[in-house]
Amino acid sequence: MDIFREYNIKCTKQRQIILDIIKNNNGITIKEINELVKKEINLSTIYRIIELFLNKEIITKKIVDNVVIYELKEKTHNHYFSCNKCHKKTIIPKKDIENFENKIIMNNDYEVTSHNIEFRGICSKCKGK
């Protein structure tokens, strides 16, 4: 499969299955993955594959409602405005984020290694009800 070649790792049936599961379930726990594949994949293999995917940055680890979940890492590191009504996401232009980050750095002399920027509200379409 393409993605395995891209990340230069061997393509196995187990890795393929787990990758598909993570793709199809946006935000899933180890326990849930295990429930889905316990007949075909050993739990220690699941841990090893998750570890591999994390190291290769194919997936990311997050906390949602105080629970650890895994989800596909977006290749392009984008930031979104999320509408609370229609739940659609709109990308905030990369240039805007960069300008903002540069300003923060310039003003403070920091080395920024990661950021998390998220806006929520009502989008223009939903504003007119």
Partner DNA sequence: TTGGATGCAAAATGTTTGCACCCGA
Partner DNA sequence: TCGGGTGCAAACATTTTGCATCCAA
- Asked if 14 touches DNA (CB under 7 A), the answer is yes
Rounded distance between C-alpha atoms, residue 126 and residue 65, angstroms:
27
What are the start-end ranges of the E strands in 5-58?
Answer: none
Give how far Cα 55 sits from Cα of 5, 28, 58, Å: 15, 18, 8
Extract the tokens encoding 86: 């229609």
Min separation Cβ 8 and DNA, Å:
10
Stretch that binds a copy of itself, among 3-11, 21-29, 41-49, 95-103 (CB under 8 A): 95-103
- Asked if 52 touches a copy of itself (CB under 8 A), the answer is no
Q: Which is nearer to DNA, 64 or 68 (CB)?
A: 68
Rounded distance between C-alpha atoms, residue 31 and residue 50, angstroms:
12
Min separation Cβ 111 and DNA, Å:
28
- Asked if 72 touches a copy of itself (CB under 8 A), the answer is no
- Asked if 51 touches DNA (CB under 7 A), the answer is yes
Q: Which of 8, 76, 109, 129 binds a copy of itself (CB under 8 A)?
A: 109
Residue 28's SS3 state is: strand
Tell me which amino acid residue 7 is: Y
DSSP 34-80: HHHHTTTS-HHHHHHHHHHHHHTTSEEEEEETTEEEEEEPPSS--EE
- Asked if 93 touches a copy of itself (CB under 8 A), the answer is yes
Binding site for a copy of itself (CB under 8 A): 54, 61-64, 66, 68, 81, 83-84, 90, 92-93, 96, 100-101, 103-104, 107-124, 127
